[in-house]
Structure 1
Amino acid sequence: MSMQVLSSWPVEQRRQVRGILTDIDDTFSSHGKLTVAALAALDRAKTAGLRRIAVTGRPTYWTLPLLRLCDFDAVIAENGASAFWLDEEGRQQAIYYADAATRSQHRQRLLDFADIMRRHFPDVLPAADAAQRIGDLAFDIAENIPAIPLSQLNEVVALIREHGFHATTSSIHAHASVAPFSKQSMSLRVLHEVFGVDDDDAKKTYVFIGDSANDASMFAHYPLSVGVANIRKYLDRFEAHPAYVCQAECGEGFVELVDFLLKDKNE
């Protein structure tokens, strides 16, 4: 798929947008940090009436600050393992991919596999946020270590799959899970069950913005999809590329998208 610049996005489609689904790492955040500009853009989107849903590979226990401090309308974590939102009374609600007993069994299998990964790739260790996860196990491939070569990453993914786990990668982590959840499957469920938006409507009125391979299910599903500029580093890792691409990278790309959409609303 050939990505187009944002300015080529037909205005008739852009004006139908009612919500933004956004990845976090290196899409909403910039090199591991949240910027004032990105948070301000998120607030401008809210003021304009756009629903804002974070869809991240980060752990379940990251959802509370994203939900309450950043003020997202909902947060999907661990590439679809869990989702959180506030009800009309401000009480936190949640969806998990499986019940607690099943999740505990899956967790033990993943912890056992971590020993296997360590024997094959001593430098590829569980991510710093591994203990905060309930559905998958993330391995550090570029967050706190120099980025491993693509050839080695392919071997890491192959090892995960050889042992019967599902695998996906982000710009910083390789993820292993027992169950085949995804960002897309949980997004569909949250939009429908929590916000009453059916999938056909979501495809016309929600835009997804992301940057790497664990966003592929979203790029494939949502016709209104955008990549921040740094996605160009990872295009050879997956086939479902976004329809449009920002000029700016990371959080600046998120700001670029929001301002582009709000320009239409103000014209």
Structure 2
Amino acid sequence: MRPICEMSDEVARQVRVVFADIDDTITEEGRLPAHSYAALEALDNAGIAVAPVTGRPAGWCDMIARFWPVAGVVGENGALYFAYDRGERRMHRVFAASEEQRAANRVRLRSLADRILADVPGCAVAADQLYREADLAIDICEDVTPLREADVSRIATLFAEAGATAKVSSIHVNGWFGDYDKLTMCRQFANDILHLDIARDNAKIVFVGDSPNDAPMFGFFANSCGVANVRQFIGALPAEPAYVTKATSAGGFIEVAERLLAVRQDRHCAP
């Protein structure tokens, strides 16, 4: 992983899209700081489309797509994307699975939740579960005492034993039934909304993330960036980001934004 300042002006100047995780990437200690939101707005004003790519629920994604300065949002680890057309005053909602399939999967996930809670003391169903369409989020540190690594691994194993996909984020273990992830839905979102092919236009895209569930994105995007807290997962990441920031969480996201904005404002990146 190279320091973000080593991203060349030529590379930074090509970027037209920023995909970014939310928790502990755009946010810090569970809050969205003003300077992080300002960076979103500055990128948008500079003509760089921003799309959060998150494990957070559909209900949150509806609000984010509608109120934040973003082109859209990919949610529930790739189960959906929402994009608000301000001219038409219409929300575009696209899901990886049909409504009927999501309903059936929720029944299976409720049963699985009972098993996980009984097997792993100290974990809890995430507080945002009520607003989810397609996955089950198990809280490992957001509103509960942080679990041991062995307990987090056990939760992921229980998902896998039930035939579900499991991904560990900085706050939750998310599990779902279906063959999708953040990358697959980003591909569809980029095609439908941004009119980009993420393979062909890879050099025009930056992804910013912080945890193991971002690994497919780190591995795919040549200009992927990790905020500094990603270092705690070294050795547990199937793929690492190309660049890393000095600051953690929101501060790191600001570094990435400033690097991309600098070449559009005739400024040079400080060493």
Q: TM-score range by the shorter chain?
A: over 0.9
User: Partner of 1:265: helix, strand, or coil?
Assistant: coil
Secondary structure of 1:24's aligned partner: coil
Report if aligned partners of 1:208, 1:219 keep a CA contact under 8 Å in 2: yes
- Any idea what the Cα deviations from partners look like across 1:200-252, whole Å, max 9, x if unmatched? 34311010000001111110111110001111122232221100001111111
Corresponding residue of 1:112: 111
Partner of residue 207, structure 1: 206
Q: Which moved more, 1:83-92 or 1:214-223?
A: 83-92
SS at match of 2:213: helix
Measured after TM superposition, the shift of residue 86 of structure 1 is 1.8
The reply to whether residue 78 of structure 1 matches residue 76 of structure 2 is yes
**Residue 63 of structure 1 corresponds to which residue in structure 2?**
61
CA distance in 2, matches of 1:100, 1:200: 29
- What count of residue pairs does the alignment treat as equivalent? 265
* % identical equivalent positions: 34
SS of the residue corresponding to residue 15 of structure 1 reads helix
What does 1:204-243 correspond to in 2, within 5 Å?
204-243=203-242
The aligned amino acid for 2:45 is T
State the AA in 2 paired with 1:56.
T
Residue type at the aligned position of 1:28: I
Distance in 2 (alpha carbons) for counterparts of 1:64 and 1:113: 26
Q: Compute the displacement of 1:137 (Å).
A: 0.2
Residue number in structure 1 paired with 2:92: 93
The normalised TM-score by structure 1 is 0.96
Name the structure 2 match of 1:184.
Answer: 183
Query: What is the match of residue 157 of structure 1?
Result: 156
Q: Deviations over 1:91-116 (max 9, x none)?
A: 11110111111100000000011111
Contact kept in structure 2, 1:212 and 1:235, CA below 8 Å: no
Cα distance in structure 1, aligned partners of 2:84 and 2:222: 28
Q: How far apart, CA to CA, are the structure 2 residues paired with 1:176 and 1:200?
A: 27
Structure 2 counterpart of 1:41: 39
| RMSD of aligned Cα (Å) | 1.1
CA contact (8 A) 1:207 1:222 kept: yes
Q: What secondary structure does 1:237 align onto?
A: coil
Letter aligned with residue 6 of structure 2: S
Secondary structure of the residue that 1:159 maps to in structure 2? Answer: helix
Deviation at 1:64, TM superposition (A): 2.4
- Report if aligned partners of 2:120, 2:151 keep a CA contact under 8 Å in 1: no
User: Alpha-carbon deviations, 1:89-147, whole Å to 9, x = none?
Assistant: 13111101111111000000000111111221132221111111111100001111122
